[in-house]
Amino acid sequence: MRLDVFFTPAELPATLSDRTVVVIDVLRATSTMVEALANGAKNIFAVATTDEAVKIAQGIGRDETLLAGERNCVRIEGFDLGNSPLEMTPEKVGGRQLIMTTTNGTAALAAATSARRVLVASLLNVDAVARELAEGDEEITLLCAGREKRFALEDAICAGTLALRLYKQLGQRRNWSDAALAAAQLARRYLPSVERTLRRVAAGRQLLELGFTTDVAFCAQLSIHDIVPKYRDRQVAL
């Protein structure tokens, strides 16, 4: 097994066709997607722009869909939901299709489109993803969404947690990239105090300033959901 980590989508090689890519955006896009699907959402269209989201919603039928998304962490005007996992209750999202656009997460999913398959991970479902990866993937790429094209520590910690879980299950790290080794060390250091760390990272500080304190605590929970969402044809679903 070859394990690679990319701290930002910009580092990705041109071709991903042999790889299983895991997209990670802990604060908050992939945490919100995992929570929505765990609470019964049918699927989530992940799109780049607000206009595109509205257009797809009109195509499917506005009554059938929920528009979700943020710009600068705040719900887009006219949208039904923001990008908070706490909004994704069974009452709101159960049986519904979501159309979602976020600053970093949806861009990372789009960057992974050419991969053999794409899984969606957050701390909320990290063990389920690790178990699925350990079942035989040969070329694994963990893709951190990062923050505004920059390194984001919370995504590196989640990638490192996946790496450590894989090491525990498979017992070797011969074909780990430098970034995979680094991510594992960061997980080892920060996972024991992950909620405190998420309040300290750049994305966490911005969320706290905007009043999303509970979101940060929520996204710091480890493996509360036993699901592995897949991204295919621009949709995230179980």
Q: C-beta of 188: minimal distance to its own copies in Å?
A: 8
If one asks whether residue 7 binds its own copies (CB under 8 A), the answer comes out as: yes
SS (HEC) of 94-131? CCCEEEEECCCHHHHHHHCCCCCEEEEECHHHHHHHHH
Return the residues of window 166-195 that contact its own copies according to CB under 8 A.
177-179, 181-182, 185-186, 189-190
- Pick one of 8, 20, 102, 103: the residue that binds its own copies (CB under 8 A): 8
Residues 75-102: b if buried by 16+ CB within 10 A, e if exposed: bbeebbbbbbbebbeeebbeebbbbbbb
Chain Cα centroid distance, residue 2: 21
Distance CA 86, CA 88 (A): 5
- Pick one of 11, 132, 139, 195: the residue that binds its own copies (CB under 8 A): 11
Part of the chain binding its own copies (CB under 8 A), chosen from 88-96, 121-129, 148-156, 211-219: 148-156
Please check whether residue 32 is in contact with residue 69, taking contact to mean a CB–CB distance below 8 angstroms: no
Cβ contacts of residue 21 below 8 Å, gap of 6+? Answer: 112, 115, 117, 118, 119, 141, 142, 143
How many residues bind to its own copies according to rule CB under 8 A? 25
150/232 with CB nearer its own copies: 150
Part of the chain binding its own copies (CB under 8 A), chosen from 42-50, 57-65, 91-99, 196-204: 196-204
Please check whether residue 145 is in contact with residue 24, taking contact to mean a CB–CB distance below 8 angstroms: yes
**Cα radius of gyration rounded to whole Å, the chain:** 16
DSSP class of 24 = E
Amino acid at 121: A
202/227 with CB nearer its own copies: 202
Part of the chain binding its own copies (CB under 8 A), chosen from 37-45, 102-110, 143-151, 210-218: 143-151
If one asks whether residue 196 binds its own copies (CB under 8 A), the answer comes out as: no
If one asks whether residue 24 binds its own copies (CB under 8 A), the answer comes out as: no
Q: C-beta of 148: minimal distance to its own copies in Å?
A: 10
137/154 with CB nearer its own copies: 154
List residues near its own copies by CB under 8 A: 5, 7-8, 10-11, 147, 149-154, 156, 177-179, 181-182, 185-186, 189-190, 200-202
